[in-house]
Structures are given as C-alpha cells and as structure tokens.
C-alpha cells in the first residue's frame, strides 16, 4: 500500500470539537478512524442513555426560550450559517474527508447542499410558519385560523455517508421551526456534526438548543426516541423498522429516510454518450455509498451495445485514490464491514453467472477499503445483489426489449427511493416518470437534479421510507398544527325545538354551497 495522506485536521481541533459533548476525561472514549489508512484520528465520548436523557432535558429548557425568539432573529442565525459554511469550505472538506474517506468533490456536494438548505429555509420559514386564515364551517360566521407550533425537542439520527447533509440539513428546518434538536450522528462520523454545532453557536444559536450525543446507535436510540417529540431517522431500512417500532410505542411522530435499489432507464432515443456520463455519476458518486445512487440499469436493446461501450469506457476513465484535494474521482469505502459486503455481493453474482465488464476487485494498494467502480452484466435473479442494496460502487446492466419492460422491471423492487430516465424527448421522460414507483425521478440526470430542487419533496415509497424531507413539508413536519375556530354567531348544533326546520335548512344550505362552489372560481 502506498503511504496514505495524513489528515490535515489537527488532533487538538478534533479534541476541542469532542469536548462540546461532555468533558473527555469523564467518559469512556470511542475512537474515530480515517478510512484512507484506518488510523485513529480522534476520540469522542461514548455517551450513556443517561447522557441522552440529560441532553433532551437541557434541550427542552433551552428550546422554550428559542421558540419565543422572533422568527426574523431565528432566520438570521441560518443566514449567517450559510455564509460561515461557504467561508470555511476548505476546513470543513478536510473534516468530512478525514472521517468518511470520500473524494473531495463528493464532500463538496454536502457543503453546497447545507448552504442551499440554510438559505432556502431561512427564506421560507417566516411565510410558512405564519398563522393562516382558513375557510370556516359557515362563511363569515365561523372564523378558522391554522397555527403552527414547534413540536418541542426533535431527535435526529443520521448515517455516515453524508455526515454533514444528513445531520445538518435535517436539523435546519427543525431549529427554524422553533424546536430544540438532539442529534445522534453515526459512530464513525461524529466530527462533522460537531464542527457544525461549533459554527452554529458562533452564528448565534443559543447554547443547549442544539445538542449532539455521540455513541452507539442501538444503546442510545431507545432513550432518544423515548424522550423526544419527533424523530427524524436516516439510515438502513432494517434499523428504520426498529426506530418506527419504538416511536410507535411512544406515539411519537417520525420520518424515515431509508435504503434504495435505484434504477436508471436508457430509452431507445437517448443521447447515449450523455446517458453514459450521467450513469457514471449516478453509480459511482461517493463510491456508490449514496442512498439515491443507481444500482440497476435497464437499457433498450436498440442502444444497448452503444451505451454499454460508452459506459464501460467512461467508468474505466475514473481515477481512484486517497487525497485531500480534487485530484481523484472516487474515494474509499467507509470500513471493512462495507468492503466485505461489496466483495461478497460481487462474488456471489459472479458465481451465479454474472460477467464483470469493469472493476470487480478491491484495491488494497490504495488503502484498506478501496474498491473499483464495477459494472456487471448477465446478473441472474437469484444473485443477492439483484434485489438487495449493495451501497457500494457496483451496478448491474440489463438489456430490455421495450420501455414497458424497463418500467415493469424497475418497479419490481421492495424499494422506491429514486430513479433516472434518459431520453431526448423530455415529455416522454416525464410520462415514464409518472409510471415509476419512486419518490423522486430524474429525467436526463441521475440524482442531483431532484435532490438539489429543495423546494420539492424528497423521500421514499415502499420500503424506502415514510414521510418526506425538503419543501414546505420538510419544515411543517417539525410543527404541531393547531386550528382555532371562533364562532361569531349562534351555535352549530340543532336548537332545542325546531329540529326539523334546522335539518331542512342545513340540507338546503349544503346543496346551495355545492352549487356555488361549482360556479365560483
């Protein structure tokens, strides 16, 4: 193995970040490793269930004062945060790369995403959180107003693959809505979240409103879910089910952003070169460790050979290596467990008849967890990766005879997160999209178009999730709506005498109302 570059982030800085959780000499410590060479770069406290309960209690008291802040003061914190994230881009890229081992361009996506999310919700919050007059039961007689109150404390449980985006972009709308947040980042990637906490405080977020607890998911998950008023979970479908069960027992509302086995469809009229470049990004961005990345490609037989050749050529052109600069396209996988899963999936598929068109092997010469971008064909239905998410740089290529077959096979999955359609006729692409059972569909893009359209909802159908992030829903899910209806005249109940007249009058009233609603705009 060539010498891996050592992290540009100092141990002292990482220690400072970790001290925000609790003094390091008061707890057992959890080592954090750099995937580039598996070295320990720092430690964070191994929090206990008691730590979680006390973080929730502190968040609760701090949250009450925060919720009383005028909305424009709350939004100002996130407007400053937007600038701070962009100003300190390089330092933050170093932290993200250190603990994920991803390529720098992949880490950059997270920074752009968090800044854009801060800007979007800072602009949206005042309008969406404002109380709104609604149509009352009887026009002019009943006044109805919809209010949105913070839920209280929001618990956020996030994964390691996009440690900034999936921790902080989820926290921003929760905080803006007037809630406190207790975040449990993944065991492997706590420093990115702690960096964000530090900067948010510098931007004016009051102490204790945003708490980070570090430690093991199975140990901290239950006390966190028990204590909070809403749970936002991003991670695997398997753990998502456990989170939902616990939340269900406590009648705590939750949103679950889970796994995917995302299809890409190349139609017979696609620009094949463009589709091949888009597919490379879709399959191998973040070394495939992306919930919305592409793991299945269905290509129409009319363009199958041409697409395959272009896709293989583009994939072989990717550079794979470690480095804290933009010199390489693809970085490392997170750890041994994931590398072994990727190897097992490919070996199993090959044993059952698949052919490797590109890649197909680990690269220990570059670092302990590097794996080449891999294209498989002839994958049989009994191969594990035919249905199961690999969550690595591996894609299966299938030839189909028609668009209907491509749609049918794309939908033949327990998952329903993201899909991609390539065609020169965008209207045709949108018609195909409407027939796909996924929460997002990108036409002539792989995943970034839908993800970066923050104004539109994002999430999974079927086993890929419950609820949505982004858009107004991504803010309002962190509120309790309350309707206050004021009756200005009389009561909406039958009088003591004259019930027949009241019944006839109410029936006539409804008939007239229907007529009016048919003619009025």
- Contact positions vs ligand NAD (CB under 6 A): 157-161, 166, 184, 186-187, 217-218, 221, 234-236, 239, 242-243, 257-260, 291, 389, 391, 417, 460, 465
Alpha-carbon radius of gyration of the chain:
26
- Cβ proximity to ligand NAD: between 156 and 177 the closer is 156
C-alpha to C-alpha distance for 143 and 145, rounded to whole angstroms:
7
> Which structure tokens are listed for 405?
């077959």
The answer to whether 192 and 161 are in contact (CB under 8 A) is no
CB count in 10 Å sphere of residue 126: 14
C-alpha to C-alpha distance for 368 and 150, rounded to whole angstroms:
45
- Cβ proximity to ligand NAD: between 320 and 458 the closer is 458
H helix or E strand, kind and range, residue 487: strand 479-487
- How far apart are CB 269 and ligand NAD at their closest, in Å? 31
- How far apart are CB 146 and ligand NAD at their closest, in Å? 29
Q: Identify the active-site residue in 99, 128, 257, 389.
A: 257
- How far apart are CB 502 and ligand NAD at their closest, in Å? 52
CB count in 10 Å sphere of residue 216: 12
H helix or E strand, kind and range, residue 476: helix 471-476
- Cβ proximity to ligand NAD: between 258 and 349 the closer is 258
Angle separating helix axes 190-202 and 11-18, nearest 10 degrees: 70
- How far apart are CB 259 and ligand NAD at their closest, in Å? 3
C-alpha to C-alpha distance for 279 and 266, rounded to whole angstroms:
10
C-alpha to C-alpha distance for 237 and 241, rounded to whole angstroms:
6
- Cβ proximity to ligand NAD: between 378 and 445 the closer is 445
C-alpha to C-alpha distance for 450 and 467, rounded to whole angstroms:
16
Q: Is 257 assigned a catalytic role?
A: yes
- Cβ proximity to ligand NAD: between 205 and 239 the closer is 239
- How far apart are CB 411 and ligand NAD at their closest, in Å? 18
- Cβ proximity to ligand NAD: between 295 and 329 the closer is 295
- Give Cβ neighbours of residue 260 (< 8 Å, ≥ 6 apart): 291, 292, 293, 295, 389, 415, 416, 417, 418, 460, 464
Burial of 192 by CB count in 10 Å (0-12 exposed, 13-18 middle, 19+ buried)? buried
- Cβ proximity to ligand NAD: between 160 and 398 the closer is 160
- How far apart are CB 221 and ligand NAD at their closest, in Å? 2
Output the DSSP codes for 390-415: --SSEEEEEEESSHHHHHHHHH-SSE
- Give Cβ neighbours of residue 294 (< 8 Å, ≥ 6 apart): 262, 263, 264, 279, 282, 283, 395, 420, 446, 447
- How far apart are CB 73 and ligand NAD at their closest, in Å? 30
Residues designated as active site: 257
């Amino acid at each position: 193995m060539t010498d891996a570059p050592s992290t540009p982030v100092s141990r002292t800085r990482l220690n400072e970040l970790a001290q925000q959780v609790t003094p390091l000499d008061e707890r057992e410590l959890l080592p954090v490793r750099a995937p580039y060479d598996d070295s320990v770069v720092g430690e964070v406290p191994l929090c206990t269930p008691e730590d979680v309960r006390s973080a929730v209690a502190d968040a609760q008291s701090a949250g009450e004062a925060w919720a009383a802040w005028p909305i424009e003061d709350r939004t100002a914190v996130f407007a400053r945060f937007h600038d701070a994230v962009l100003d300190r881009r390089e330092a933050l890229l170093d932290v993200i790369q250190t603990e994920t081992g991803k390529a720098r361009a992949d880490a950059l996506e997270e920074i752009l995403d968090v800044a854009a999310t801060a800007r979007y919700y800072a602009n949206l919050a005042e309008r969406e959180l404002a109380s709104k007059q609604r149509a009352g039961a009887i026009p002019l007689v009943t006044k109805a107003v919809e209010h949105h109150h913070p839920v209280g404390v929001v618990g956020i449980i996030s994964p390691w693959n996009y440690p900034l985006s999936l921790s902080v972009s989820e926290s921003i709308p929760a905080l803006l809505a007037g809630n406190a947040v207790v975040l449990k980042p993944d065991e492997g990637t706590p420093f990115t979240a702690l960096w964000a906490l530090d900067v948010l405080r510098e931007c004016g977020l009051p102490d204790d409103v945003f708490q980070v607890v570090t430690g093991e998911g199975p140990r901290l998950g239950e006390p966190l879910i028990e204590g909070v008023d809403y749970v936002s979970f991003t991670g695997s479908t398997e753990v998502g089910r456990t989170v939902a069960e616990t939340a269900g027992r406590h009648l705590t509302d939750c949103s679950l952003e889970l796994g995917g086995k995302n299809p890409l469809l190349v139609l017979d009229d696609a620009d094949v070169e463009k589709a091949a470049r888009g597919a490379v990004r879709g399959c191998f961005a973040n070394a495939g460790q992306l919930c919305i990345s592409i793991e299945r490609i269905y290509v129409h037989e009319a363009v199958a050979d041409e697409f395959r050749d272009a896709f293989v050529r583009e994939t072989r052109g990717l550079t794979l290596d470690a480095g804290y600069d933009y010199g390489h396209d693809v970085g490392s996988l997170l750890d041994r467990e994931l590398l072994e899963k990727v190897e097992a999936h490919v070996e199993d598929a090959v044993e059952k008849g698949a052919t490797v068109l590109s890649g197909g092997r680990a690269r220990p010469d570059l670092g302990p967890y590097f794996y080449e971008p891999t294209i498989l064909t002839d994958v049989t239905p009994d191969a594990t990766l035919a249905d199961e998410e690999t969550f690595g740089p591996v894609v299966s290529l299938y030839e189909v005879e028609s668009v209907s077959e491509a749609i049918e096979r794309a939908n033949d999955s327990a998952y329903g997160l993201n899909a991609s359609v390539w065609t020169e006729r965008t209207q045709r692409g949108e018609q195909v999209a409407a027939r796909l059972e996924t929460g997002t569909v990108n036409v002539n893009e792989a995943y970034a178009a839908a993800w970066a359209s923050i104004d539109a909802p994002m999430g999974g159908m079927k086993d890929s999730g419950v609820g949505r992030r982004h858009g107004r829903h991504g803010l309002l899910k962190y509120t309790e709506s309350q309707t206050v209806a004021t009756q200005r005249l009389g009561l909406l109940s039958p009088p003591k005498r004259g019930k027949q007249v009241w019944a006839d009058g109410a029936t006539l009233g409804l008939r007239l109302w229907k007529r009016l609603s048919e003619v009025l705009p």
